[in-house]
Structure 1
Amino acid sequence: MSLLKIASVACIALTLGACQSLFQPSYRAQLASTHDASEQAKPGCDGPDCPVINIDTVHFPTEPQLDRIVEQRLLQMTRTSPGAALPASLNAYREQFLRESDDRNSVYLQAKVREQHDGLVIIEVSSYLDTGAANGTPGRGFINYSRQLQKELSLSDMLLPGQEGAFWKTAQVAHNSWLINSQLDRDPDFVKSWPFQKTPNVALTSVGVVLKYNVATIAPYSSGLIEMTIPYARLKGQIKPELVPERS
Protein backbone atom coordinates (compact mmCIF):
# COMPACT_ATOMS: atom_id res chain seq x y z
CA MET A 1 0.00 0.00 0.00
CA SER A 2 1.38 3.41 -0.93
CA LEU A 3 2.15 6.05 1.66
CA LEU A 4 -0.64 8.18 0.19
CA LYS A 5 -3.23 5.43 0.73
CA ILE A 6 -1.98 4.77 4.28
CA ALA A 7 -2.29 8.46 5.07
CA SER A 8 -5.83 8.55 3.62
CA VAL A 9 -6.95 5.54 5.71
CA ALA A 10 -5.45 7.12 8.82
CA CYS A 11 -7.31 10.38 8.17
CA ILE A 12 -10.61 8.54 7.71
CA ALA A 13 -10.05 6.61 10.96
CA LEU A 14 -9.27 9.79 12.86
CA THR A 15 -12.35 11.49 11.43
CA LEU A 16 -14.61 8.59 12.43
CA GLY A 17 -13.10 8.55 15.88
CA ALA A 18 -13.71 12.26 16.27
CA CYS A 19 -17.34 11.83 15.18
CA GLN A 20 -17.89 8.97 17.63
CA SER A 21 -16.41 10.93 20.52
CA LEU A 22 -18.46 13.96 19.51
CA PHE A 23 -21.76 12.10 19.86
CA GLN A 24 -20.89 10.15 23.00
CA PRO A 25 -21.87 11.81 26.30
CA SER A 26 -18.97 13.07 28.41
CA TYR A 27 -19.32 11.58 31.87
CA ARG A 28 -16.38 13.62 33.13
CA ALA A 29 -18.57 16.72 33.04
CA GLN A 30 -20.74 17.30 36.11
CA LEU A 31 -24.43 16.51 35.76
CA ALA A 32 -26.36 19.77 36.10
CA SER A 33 -28.76 20.06 39.02
CA THR A 34 -31.04 22.66 40.58
CA HIS A 35 -31.78 23.29 44.25
CA ASP A 36 -35.36 23.30 45.59
CA ALA A 37 -35.96 24.18 49.25
CA SER A 38 -39.16 25.11 51.09
CA GLU A 39 -40.47 25.32 54.64
CA GLN A 40 -44.14 25.51 55.50
CA ALA A 41 -46.11 25.59 58.75
CA LYS A 42 -49.66 24.34 59.15
CA PRO A 43 -52.04 26.91 57.66
CA GLY A 44 -54.00 28.86 60.26
CA CYS A 45 -51.58 27.93 63.05
CA ASP A 46 -49.42 30.70 64.52
CA GLY A 47 -48.19 29.23 67.82
CA PRO A 48 -44.62 28.11 68.64
CA ASP A 49 -45.52 24.42 68.38
CA CYS A 50 -47.16 24.49 64.94
CA PRO A 51 -46.39 21.50 62.70
CA VAL A 52 -43.64 22.36 60.21
CA ILE A 53 -42.35 20.54 57.15
CA ASN A 54 -39.04 21.36 55.50
CA ILE A 55 -38.10 19.80 52.16
CA ASP A 56 -34.66 20.52 50.70
CA THR A 57 -33.97 18.57 47.54
CA VAL A 58 -32.30 18.58 44.12
CA HIS A 59 -33.60 18.15 40.59
CA PHE A 60 -31.80 16.98 37.47
CA PRO A 61 -33.32 18.57 34.34
CA THR A 62 -31.55 16.19 31.94
CA GLU A 63 -32.02 13.02 34.04
CA PRO A 64 -35.74 12.58 34.84
CA GLN A 65 -35.06 8.99 35.89
CA LEU A 66 -32.78 10.22 38.68
CA ASP A 67 -35.38 12.80 39.70
CA ARG A 68 -37.92 10.02 40.20
CA ILE A 69 -35.46 7.92 42.22
CA VAL A 70 -34.65 10.82 44.56
CA GLU A 71 -38.31 11.60 45.20
CA GLN A 72 -39.12 7.95 45.86
CA ARG A 73 -36.27 7.58 48.35
CA LEU A 74 -37.34 10.69 50.25
CA LEU A 75 -40.91 9.40 50.39
CA GLN A 76 -39.67 6.07 51.77
CA MET A 77 -37.95 7.96 54.58
CA THR A 78 -41.30 9.37 55.74
CA ARG A 79 -42.56 5.92 56.77
CA THR A 80 -43.34 5.58 60.47
CA SER A 81 -44.15 1.88 60.18
CA PRO A 82 -42.77 -0.82 57.83
CA GLY A 83 -44.78 -1.34 54.68
CA ALA A 84 -46.90 1.79 55.11
CA ALA A 85 -48.35 3.14 51.88
CA LEU A 86 -46.47 6.02 50.31
CA PRO A 87 -48.00 9.25 49.04
CA ALA A 88 -47.91 9.79 45.29
CA SER A 89 -45.42 12.68 45.50
CA LEU A 90 -43.56 14.98 47.89
CA ASN A 91 -46.20 17.63 47.28
CA ALA A 92 -48.93 15.16 48.23
CA TYR A 93 -46.99 14.21 51.38
CA ARG A 94 -46.56 17.87 52.33
CA GLU A 95 -50.30 18.50 52.02
CA GLN A 96 -51.14 15.34 54.00
CA PHE A 97 -48.67 16.18 56.78
CA LEU A 98 -49.93 19.74 57.17
CA ARG A 99 -53.54 18.55 57.16
CA GLU A 100 -53.19 15.69 59.66
CA SER A 101 -50.26 16.50 61.98
CA ASP A 102 -50.60 17.55 65.61
CA ASP A 103 -48.69 20.33 67.36
CA ARG A 104 -44.98 19.74 68.02
CA ASN A 105 -44.70 17.49 64.97
CA SER A 106 -42.15 18.34 62.31
CA VAL A 107 -40.46 16.77 59.31
CA TYR A 108 -37.17 17.53 57.61
CA LEU A 109 -36.25 15.86 54.32
CA GLN A 110 -33.11 16.54 52.33
CA ALA A 111 -31.40 15.20 49.21
CA LYS A 112 -28.03 16.63 48.22
CA VAL A 113 -25.31 15.72 45.75
CA ARG A 114 -22.45 14.45 47.86
CA GLU A 115 -20.12 14.15 44.88
CA GLN A 116 -19.82 13.20 41.21
CA HIS A 117 -17.02 11.18 39.65
CA ASP A 118 -16.44 8.76 36.77
CA GLY A 119 -20.03 8.93 35.54
CA LEU A 120 -21.48 8.28 39.01
CA VAL A 121 -23.69 10.69 40.94
CA ILE A 122 -23.60 10.04 44.69
CA ILE A 123 -26.60 11.52 46.49
CA GLU A 124 -27.03 11.54 50.25
CA VAL A 125 -30.60 11.56 51.55
CA SER A 126 -31.48 12.65 55.08
CA SER A 127 -34.57 12.78 57.22
CA TYR A 128 -35.63 13.83 60.69
CA LEU A 129 -39.11 12.93 61.90
CA ASP A 130 -40.27 14.54 65.15
CA THR A 131 -43.55 13.24 66.51
CA GLY A 132 -43.32 15.13 69.79
CA ALA A 133 -41.42 12.43 71.69
CA ALA A 134 -38.22 13.09 73.66
CA ASN A 135 -36.09 12.31 70.63
CA GLY A 136 -36.84 12.58 66.95
CA THR A 137 -35.87 9.92 64.43
CA PRO A 138 -33.02 10.78 62.07
CA GLY A 139 -32.38 8.76 58.94
CA ARG A 140 -29.69 8.60 56.25
CA GLY A 141 -29.18 6.83 52.95
CA PHE A 142 -27.27 6.95 49.68
CA ILE A 143 -28.15 6.79 46.01
CA ASN A 144 -25.35 5.61 43.72
CA TYR A 145 -26.60 6.54 40.26
CA SER A 146 -24.82 5.41 37.11
CA ARG A 147 -25.31 7.89 34.29
CA GLN A 148 -24.09 5.36 31.77
CA LEU A 149 -26.55 2.66 32.89
CA GLN A 150 -29.24 5.18 33.90
CA LYS A 151 -30.02 3.26 37.07
CA GLU A 152 -29.35 3.21 40.79
CA LEU A 153 -26.66 0.69 41.66
CA SER A 154 -27.44 -1.90 44.30
CA LEU A 155 -24.72 -3.59 46.33
CA SER A 156 -24.87 -6.60 44.00
CA ASP A 157 -24.32 -4.22 41.07
CA MET A 158 -21.16 -2.93 42.77
CA LEU A 159 -19.60 -6.28 43.65
CA LEU A 160 -18.00 -8.99 41.58
CA PRO A 161 -19.97 -12.26 41.60
CA GLY A 162 -19.67 -14.22 44.85
CA GLN A 163 -17.91 -11.41 46.75
CA GLU A 164 -20.63 -10.20 49.12
CA GLY A 165 -19.35 -12.32 52.01
CA ALA A 166 -15.80 -11.06 51.49
CA PHE A 167 -17.06 -7.47 51.31
CA TRP A 168 -18.78 -7.66 54.68
CA LYS A 169 -15.71 -9.32 56.24
CA THR A 170 -13.67 -6.34 55.02
CA ALA A 171 -16.35 -4.05 56.47
CA GLN A 172 -16.07 -5.83 59.81
CA VAL A 173 -12.31 -5.19 59.83
CA ALA A 174 -13.08 -1.49 59.22
CA HIS A 175 -15.53 -1.63 62.14
CA ASN A 176 -12.84 -3.09 64.38
CA SER A 177 -10.52 -0.25 63.37
CA TRP A 178 -13.27 2.25 64.22
CA LEU A 179 -13.64 0.67 67.68
CA ILE A 180 -9.89 0.92 68.28
CA ASN A 181 -9.57 4.49 66.99
CA SER A 182 -12.53 5.53 69.15
CA GLN A 183 -11.06 3.62 72.11
CA LEU A 184 -14.38 1.82 72.47
CA ASP A 185 -12.64 -1.55 72.25
CA ARG A 186 -11.54 -0.97 75.87
CA ASP A 187 -15.16 -1.25 77.05
CA PRO A 188 -16.22 -4.94 76.99
CA ASP A 189 -19.84 -4.03 77.69
CA PHE A 190 -19.95 -1.72 74.67
CA VAL A 191 -18.37 -4.32 72.38
CA LYS A 192 -20.90 -6.91 73.55
CA SER A 193 -23.94 -4.61 73.38
CA TRP A 194 -23.12 -3.00 70.02
CA PRO A 195 -21.69 -5.64 67.67
CA PHE A 196 -20.90 -5.16 64.00
CA GLN A 197 -23.89 -5.06 61.64
CA LYS A 198 -24.38 -4.72 57.93
CA THR A 199 -25.83 -1.46 56.65
CA PRO A 200 -27.87 -0.69 53.53
CA ASN A 201 -26.12 2.70 53.31
CA VAL A 202 -23.14 2.13 51.00
CA ALA A 203 -21.61 4.85 48.79
CA LEU A 204 -18.98 4.63 46.04
CA THR A 205 -17.14 7.87 46.78
CA SER A 206 -13.96 9.05 45.08
CA VAL A 207 -11.76 8.13 48.07
CA GLY A 208 -13.31 4.81 49.06
CA VAL A 209 -16.49 2.92 49.86
CA VAL A 210 -18.39 4.72 52.61
CA LEU A 211 -20.60 2.85 55.07
CA LYS A 212 -23.06 4.96 57.05
CA TYR A 213 -25.00 3.74 60.07
CA ASN A 214 -28.24 5.16 61.39
CA VAL A 215 -28.53 5.94 65.09
CA ALA A 216 -28.79 3.07 67.58
CA THR A 217 -27.44 0.42 65.19
CA ILE A 218 -23.78 -0.04 66.15
CA ALA A 219 -23.71 2.56 68.94
CA PRO A 220 -26.23 4.31 71.24
CA TYR A 221 -28.51 7.09 69.98
CA SER A 222 -26.27 9.67 71.65
CA SER A 223 -23.35 8.65 69.40
CA GLY A 224 -25.22 9.96 66.37
CA LEU A 225 -24.67 8.80 62.80
CA ILE A 226 -21.48 6.81 62.30
CA GLU A 227 -19.54 6.78 59.03
CA MET A 228 -16.63 4.57 58.00
CA THR A 229 -14.57 4.68 54.79
CA ILE A 230 -12.90 1.61 53.27
CA PRO A 231 -10.13 2.44 50.74
CA TYR A 232 -10.54 0.79 47.34
CA ALA A 233 -7.14 -0.88 47.76
CA ARG A 234 -8.64 -3.06 50.52
CA LEU A 235 -11.53 -4.05 48.26
CA LYS A 236 -9.48 -5.28 45.30
CA GLY A 237 -11.14 -8.36 43.85
CA GLN A 238 -14.46 -7.42 45.47
CA ILE A 239 -15.61 -4.18 43.81
CA LYS A 240 -16.09 -4.28 40.04
CA PRO A 241 -12.97 -2.67 38.51
CA GLU A 242 -14.97 -0.37 36.26
CA LEU A 243 -16.50 1.25 39.37
CA VAL A 244 -13.17 2.08 40.99
CA PRO A 245 -12.31 5.76 40.32
CA GLU A 246 -9.46 6.27 37.88
CA ARG A 247 -7.32 8.14 40.40
CA SER A 248 -7.62 5.27 42.87
Structure 2
Amino acid sequence: MGAASLSANAGSLISSTEYLDYQLPEKIQKICTERDNCPDIEVKYLKSNHSWIDNTVNARIDNLVVNSKPTESEHIKTKSSRADVTAAIDDFAASQLQDTPEEVSWAYNLMVTPEYLGHVNDFELFEIHSYVFTGGAHGMPYSEYLIFDQQTKKPIQLADMLQPNKKSRFNALAYSAYKEWVKTVDEDVASYEKSWPFTLSDNVTLTDQGIDIRYQHYSIGPYAYGMPVLSIPYSQLQGVIKPQFLPARLSNK
Protein backbone atom coordinates (compact mmCIF):
# COMPACT_ATOMS: atom_id res chain seq x y z
CA MET A 1 0.00 0.00 0.00
CA GLY A 2 1.27 3.47 -0.83
CA ALA A 3 1.60 5.89 2.05
CA ALA A 4 -1.69 7.61 2.72
CA SER A 5 -1.71 11.29 1.82
CA LEU A 6 -2.19 13.89 4.52
CA SER A 7 -4.82 16.60 4.75
CA ALA A 8 -5.21 19.35 7.30
CA ASN A 9 -8.78 18.57 8.31
CA ALA A 10 -8.10 14.89 8.88
CA GLY A 11 -4.71 15.13 10.53
CA SER A 12 -5.89 15.38 14.13
CA LEU A 13 -6.26 11.67 14.87
CA ILE A 14 -3.80 10.41 17.49
CA SER A 15 -3.54 6.64 17.54
CA SER A 16 -2.04 4.10 19.93
CA THR A 17 -2.89 0.62 21.21
CA GLU A 18 -3.31 -1.03 24.59
CA TYR A 19 -3.14 -4.68 25.57
CA LEU A 20 -6.14 -6.65 26.72
CA ASP A 21 -5.82 -7.22 30.46
CA TYR A 22 -5.92 -11.01 30.46
CA GLN A 23 -4.45 -13.73 32.63
CA LEU A 24 -4.58 -17.44 31.91
CA PRO A 25 -6.84 -19.33 34.32
CA GLU A 26 -4.81 -20.57 37.28
CA LYS A 27 -5.26 -24.26 36.43
CA ILE A 28 -4.14 -23.78 32.81
CA GLN A 29 -1.24 -21.55 33.89
CA LYS A 30 -0.02 -24.22 36.32
CA ILE A 31 -0.10 -27.05 33.77
CA CYS A 32 1.42 -25.15 30.85
CA THR A 33 4.14 -23.66 33.10
CA GLU A 34 5.06 -27.16 34.24
CA ARG A 35 5.30 -28.16 30.59
CA ASP A 36 7.16 -24.92 29.80
CA ASN A 37 4.75 -24.50 26.90
CA CYS A 38 2.02 -21.91 27.46
CA PRO A 39 -0.18 -20.52 24.67
CA ASP A 40 0.89 -17.15 23.28
CA ILE A 41 -2.02 -14.68 23.56
CA GLU A 42 -1.71 -11.10 22.29
CA VAL A 43 -4.84 -9.00 21.88
CA LYS A 44 -4.51 -5.25 21.42
CA TYR A 45 -7.19 -2.57 21.24
CA LEU A 46 -7.21 0.78 19.53
CA LYS A 47 -6.86 3.78 21.80
CA SER A 48 -7.20 7.08 19.95
CA ASN A 49 -8.72 10.50 20.52
CA HIS A 50 -11.75 9.49 18.44
CA SER A 51 -13.88 7.27 20.66
CA TRP A 52 -16.43 6.58 17.93
CA ILE A 53 -13.67 5.00 15.82
CA ASP A 54 -12.30 3.08 18.79
CA ASN A 55 -15.74 1.63 19.52
CA THR A 56 -16.14 0.17 16.03
CA VAL A 57 -12.56 -1.09 15.67
CA ASN A 58 -12.51 -2.66 19.12
CA ALA A 59 -15.92 -4.28 18.64
CA ARG A 60 -14.53 -5.91 15.52
CA ILE A 61 -11.45 -7.06 17.43
CA ASP A 62 -13.69 -8.61 20.09
CA ASN A 63 -15.70 -10.30 17.36
CA LEU A 64 -12.57 -11.78 15.79
CA VAL A 65 -11.33 -13.08 19.14
CA VAL A 66 -14.65 -14.68 20.00
CA ASN A 67 -15.02 -16.36 16.62
CA SER A 68 -11.31 -17.07 16.03
CA LYS A 69 -12.24 -18.21 12.52
CA PRO A 70 -12.74 -14.94 10.64
CA THR A 71 -14.69 -14.93 7.43
CA GLU A 72 -13.77 -12.40 4.77
CA SER A 73 -16.21 -9.48 4.67
CA GLU A 74 -18.23 -10.90 7.55
CA HIS A 75 -19.59 -7.87 9.37
CA ILE A 76 -20.35 -7.62 13.07
CA LYS A 77 -23.81 -9.00 13.82
CA THR A 78 -23.73 -8.96 17.60
CA LYS A 79 -21.51 -7.15 20.06
CA SER A 80 -19.30 -9.41 22.13
CA SER A 81 -18.99 -8.60 25.82
CA ARG A 82 -15.67 -8.63 27.68
CA ALA A 83 -16.90 -11.80 29.38
CA ASP A 84 -17.41 -13.38 25.93
CA VAL A 85 -13.86 -12.41 24.95
CA THR A 86 -12.33 -13.79 28.15
CA ALA A 87 -14.31 -17.03 27.86
CA ALA A 88 -13.22 -17.47 24.23
CA ILE A 89 -9.54 -17.03 25.11
CA ASP A 90 -9.89 -19.38 28.09
CA ASP A 91 -11.36 -22.02 25.74
CA PHE A 92 -8.60 -21.40 23.20
CA ALA A 93 -5.90 -21.84 25.86
CA ALA A 94 -7.55 -24.91 27.35
CA SER A 95 -7.83 -26.54 23.92
CA GLN A 96 -4.04 -26.62 23.64
CA LEU A 97 -3.79 -28.77 26.75
CA GLN A 98 -6.54 -31.05 25.44
CA ASP A 99 -5.29 -31.33 21.87
CA THR A 100 -1.51 -31.62 22.19
CA PRO A 101 0.65 -34.28 23.86
CA GLU A 102 2.92 -33.14 26.68
CA GLU A 103 6.06 -33.68 24.62
CA VAL A 104 4.94 -31.28 21.84
CA SER A 105 7.17 -28.20 21.77
CA TRP A 106 4.96 -25.75 19.85
CA ALA A 107 2.32 -23.61 21.53
CA TYR A 108 -1.02 -22.27 20.35
CA ASN A 109 -0.93 -18.65 19.23
CA LEU A 110 -3.73 -16.07 19.07
CA MET A 111 -2.97 -12.51 18.01
CA VAL A 112 -5.29 -9.65 17.08
CA THR A 113 -4.06 -6.08 16.72
CA PRO A 114 -5.11 -2.87 14.93
CA GLU A 115 -2.88 -0.67 12.79
CA TYR A 116 -3.47 2.96 11.82
CA LEU A 117 -2.65 3.41 8.14
CA GLY A 118 -3.14 7.18 7.93
CA HIS A 119 -5.77 9.15 6.09
CA VAL A 120 -6.84 10.23 2.62
CA ASN A 121 -9.03 13.33 2.38
CA ASP A 122 -11.52 13.05 5.27
CA PHE A 123 -11.17 9.29 5.61
CA GLU A 124 -9.26 7.60 8.42
CA LEU A 125 -7.78 4.23 7.49
CA PHE A 126 -7.11 1.20 9.67
CA GLU A 127 -6.18 -2.43 9.24
CA ILE A 128 -6.83 -5.22 11.74
CA HIS A 129 -4.36 -8.10 11.69
CA SER A 130 -5.00 -11.45 13.29
CA TYR A 131 -3.14 -14.73 13.47
CA VAL A 132 -4.29 -18.08 14.80
CA PHE A 133 -2.03 -21.13 15.14
CA THR A 134 -3.32 -24.42 16.52
CA GLY A 135 -0.75 -26.78 15.04
CA GLY A 136 -0.17 -28.16 11.58
CA ALA A 137 2.09 -26.83 8.85
CA HIS A 138 1.31 -23.18 9.48
CA GLY A 139 -0.93 -20.72 11.24
CA MET A 140 -3.70 -18.72 9.62
CA PRO A 141 -3.15 -14.97 9.24
CA TYR A 142 -6.08 -12.70 8.50
CA SER A 143 -6.32 -9.01 7.68
CA GLU A 144 -9.12 -6.56 7.05
CA TYR A 145 -9.38 -2.87 6.26
CA LEU A 146 -11.63 -0.34 7.97
CA ILE A 147 -12.42 3.13 6.60
CA PHE A 148 -14.05 5.90 8.63
CA ASP A 149 -15.63 9.10 7.33
CA GLN A 150 -14.70 12.03 9.57
CA GLN A 151 -17.62 14.08 8.25
CA THR A 152 -20.44 11.60 8.88
CA LYS A 153 -18.65 9.69 11.67
CA LYS A 154 -19.59 6.39 10.05
CA PRO A 155 -17.69 3.39 8.68
CA ILE A 156 -17.41 3.23 4.89
CA GLN A 157 -17.92 0.10 2.80
CA LEU A 158 -17.06 -0.43 -0.85
CA ALA A 159 -20.73 0.02 -1.77
CA ASP A 160 -20.66 3.50 -0.21
CA MET A 161 -17.72 4.48 -2.40
CA LEU A 162 -19.13 3.47 -5.77
CA GLN A 163 -21.14 5.69 -8.09
CA PRO A 164 -24.64 4.36 -8.91
CA ASN A 165 -24.60 1.34 -11.23
CA LYS A 166 -20.79 1.18 -11.31
CA LYS A 167 -20.12 -2.04 -9.43
CA SER A 168 -19.75 -4.01 -12.67
CA ARG A 169 -17.18 -1.48 -13.91
CA PHE A 170 -15.27 -1.70 -10.63
CA ASN A 171 -15.43 -5.48 -10.88
CA ALA A 172 -13.91 -5.30 -14.36
CA LEU A 173 -11.07 -3.07 -13.13
CA ALA A 174 -10.40 -5.44 -10.25
CA TYR A 175 -10.40 -8.40 -12.64
CA SER A 176 -7.81 -6.67 -14.81
CA ALA A 177 -5.68 -6.06 -11.71
CA TYR A 178 -6.11 -9.73 -10.80
CA LYS A 179 -4.78 -10.85 -14.20
CA GLU A 180 -1.77 -8.55 -13.82
CA TRP A 181 -1.10 -10.01 -10.38
CA VAL A 182 -1.41 -13.58 -11.71
CA LYS A 183 1.34 -12.81 -14.23
CA THR A 184 3.71 -12.26 -11.29
CA VAL A 185 3.17 -15.80 -10.00
CA ASP A 186 2.25 -17.88 -13.08
CA GLU A 187 3.04 -17.72 -16.79
CA ASP A 188 -0.35 -19.09 -17.87
CA VAL A 189 -3.14 -16.82 -16.64
CA ALA A 190 -5.93 -18.92 -18.17
CA SER A 191 -4.69 -22.12 -16.55
CA TYR A 192 -4.18 -20.42 -13.18
CA GLU A 193 -7.68 -18.97 -13.26
CA LYS A 194 -9.21 -22.43 -13.63
CA SER A 195 -7.74 -23.41 -10.26
CA TRP A 196 -8.01 -20.03 -8.53
CA PRO A 197 -10.78 -18.01 -10.20
CA PHE A 198 -11.23 -14.30 -9.61
CA THR A 199 -13.73 -13.11 -7.03
CA LEU A 200 -14.37 -9.54 -5.98
CA SER A 201 -13.54 -8.78 -2.36
CA ASP A 202 -15.01 -5.74 -0.64
CA ASN A 203 -12.04 -5.66 1.75
CA VAL A 204 -10.73 -2.35 0.39
CA THR A 205 -8.85 0.74 1.47
CA LEU A 206 -7.74 4.06 0.02
CA THR A 207 -4.09 4.87 -0.64
CA ASP A 208 -2.27 7.86 -2.08
CA GLN A 209 -2.33 6.04 -5.44
CA GLY A 210 -5.79 4.49 -5.61
CA ILE A 211 -7.81 1.68 -4.05
CA ASP A 212 -6.20 -1.49 -2.68
CA ILE A 213 -8.19 -4.72 -2.45
CA ARG A 214 -6.96 -7.22 0.13
CA TYR A 215 -7.54 -10.98 -0.20
CA GLN A 216 -7.14 -13.62 2.48
CA HIS A 217 -5.13 -16.80 2.13
CA TYR A 218 -6.75 -19.28 -0.27
CA SER A 219 -9.14 -16.66 -1.72
CA ILE A 220 -7.43 -16.32 -5.10
CA GLY A 221 -4.28 -18.34 -4.58
CA PRO A 222 -2.57 -21.06 -2.53
CA TYR A 223 -1.28 -20.35 0.97
CA ALA A 224 2.27 -19.81 -0.25
CA TYR A 225 1.15 -16.74 -2.22
CA GLY A 226 0.14 -14.94 0.97
CA MET A 227 -2.65 -12.37 1.14
CA PRO A 228 -2.61 -10.70 -2.29
CA VAL A 229 -3.37 -7.02 -2.73
CA LEU A 230 -4.81 -5.80 -6.03
CA SER A 231 -4.34 -2.10 -6.74
CA ILE A 232 -6.54 0.09 -8.95
CA PRO A 233 -5.12 3.58 -9.64
CA TYR A 234 -7.29 6.66 -9.23
CA SER A 235 -6.79 7.46 -12.92
CA GLN A 236 -9.01 4.44 -13.71
CA LEU A 237 -11.56 5.24 -11.02
CA GLN A 238 -12.86 8.59 -12.25
CA GLY A 239 -16.58 8.21 -12.84
CA VAL A 240 -16.51 4.90 -10.92
CA ILE A 241 -16.12 6.07 -7.34
CA LYS A 242 -17.69 9.18 -5.84
CA PRO A 243 -15.69 12.44 -6.10
CA GLN A 244 -15.02 12.72 -2.35
CA PHE A 245 -12.91 9.56 -2.54
CA LEU A 246 -10.70 10.93 -5.32
CA PRO A 247 -7.67 13.18 -4.76
CA ALA A 248 -8.46 16.86 -5.22
CA ARG A 249 -6.46 16.97 -8.43
CA LEU A 250 -8.90 14.48 -10.00
CA SER A 251 -12.21 15.18 -8.26
CA ASN A 252 -12.27 18.73 -9.63
CA LYS A 253 -11.90 17.61 -13.21
For 1:162 and 1:187, the matched residues in 2 are separated by 29
TM-score of the two chains, using structure 2 as the length reference: 0.77
Q: Indicate which of 142, 145, 149 corresponds to 1:142.
A: 145
**Residue correspondences, number:** 220
Once the two structures are TM-superposed, the CA of residue 184 in structure 1 deviates from its matched residue by: 1.3
Once the two structures are TM-superposed, the CA of residue 141 in structure 1 deviates from its matched residue by: 0.4
Q: 1:97 maps to which residue?
A: 89
Residue identity in the other structure for 1:111: P
Once the two structures are TM-superposed, the CA of residue 137 in structure 1 deviates from its matched residue by: 1.7
For 2:209 and 2:127, the matched residues in 1 are separated by 16
Within-5 A mapping of 1:1-248: 27-37=9-19, 42=24, 43-44=29-30, 45-46=32-33, 47-61=35-49, 63-78=50-65, 79-80=67-68, 87-89=80-82, 92-94=84-86, 96-98=88-90, 101=93, 102-103=95-96, 104-180=107-183, 182-186=184-188, 189-247=191-249
Gaps spanning 5+ residues in structure 2: where? 1-7, 97-106
Once the two structures are TM-superposed, the CA of residue 117 in structure 1 deviates from its matched residue by: 2.4
Once the two structures are TM-superposed, the CA of residue 92 in structure 1 deviates from its matched residue by: 4.9
Over the aligned positions, Cα root-mean-square deviation in angstroms equals 2.6
Secondary structure of 2:148's partner? strand
For 1:174 and 1:100, the matched residues in 2 are separated by 38
Secondary structure of 2:9's partner? coil
Tell which structure's C-alpha radius of gyration is larger. Answer: 1
Once the two structures are TM-superposed, the CA of residue 30 in structure 1 deviates from its matched residue by: 3.2
**Are the counterparts in 1 of residues 145 and 203 from structure 2 also a CA contact under 8 Å?**
yes
**Are the counterparts in 2 of residues 141 and 201 from structure 1 also a CA contact under 8 Å?**
yes
Once the two structures are TM-superposed, the CA of residue 231 in structure 1 deviates from its matched residue by: 0.5
**Are the counterparts in 2 of residues 41 and 50 from structure 1 also a CA contact under 8 Å?**
no
Identity %: 24
Once the two structures are TM-superposed, the CA of residue 131 in structure 1 deviates from its matched residue by: 2.1
For 1:132 and 1:59, the matched residues in 2 are separated by 32
Q: 1:7 maps to which residue?
A: none
TM-score of the two chains, using structure 1 as the length reference: 0.78
**Are the counterparts in 2 of residues 109 and 128 from structure 1 also a CA contact under 8 Å?**
yes
Secondary structure of 1:165's partner? helix
Against the structure 1 CA distance between its residues 127 and 242, is the aligned structure 2 distance closer, same or farther, given a 3 Å change threshold?
same
**Are the counterparts in 2 of residues 57 and 112 from structure 1 also a CA contact under 8 Å?**
no
Once the two structures are TM-superposed, the CA of residue 233 in structure 1 deviates from its matched residue by: 0.8
Once the two structures are TM-superposed, the CA of residue 183 in structure 1 deviates from its matched residue by: 4.8
1:20-67 Cα distance to aligned partner (Å, 9 max, x none): xxxxxx624231122224696733332343122102332123x22111
Against the structure 1 CA distance between its residues 227 and 39, is the aligned structure 2 distance closer, same or farther, given a 3 Å change threshold?
farther
Once the two structures are TM-superposed, the CA of residue 230 in structure 1 deviates from its matched residue by: 0.8
Against the structure 1 CA distance between its residues 233 and 49, is the aligned structure 2 distance closer, same or farther, given a 3 Å change threshold?
same
**Are the counterparts in 2 of residues 41 and 51 from structure 1 also a CA contact under 8 Å?**
no
Against the structure 1 CA distance between its residues 100 and 201, is the aligned structure 2 distance closer, same or farther, given a 3 Å change threshold?
closer
Against the structure 1 CA distance between its residues 247 and 34, is the aligned structure 2 distance closer, same or farther, given a 3 Å change threshold?
farther
For 1:105 and 1:39, the matched residues in 2 are separated by 19
Against the structure 1 CA distance between its residues 144 and 100, is the aligned structure 2 distance closer, same or farther, given a 3 Å change threshold?
closer
Structure number with greater CO (CA < 8 Å, separation at least 6) is 2
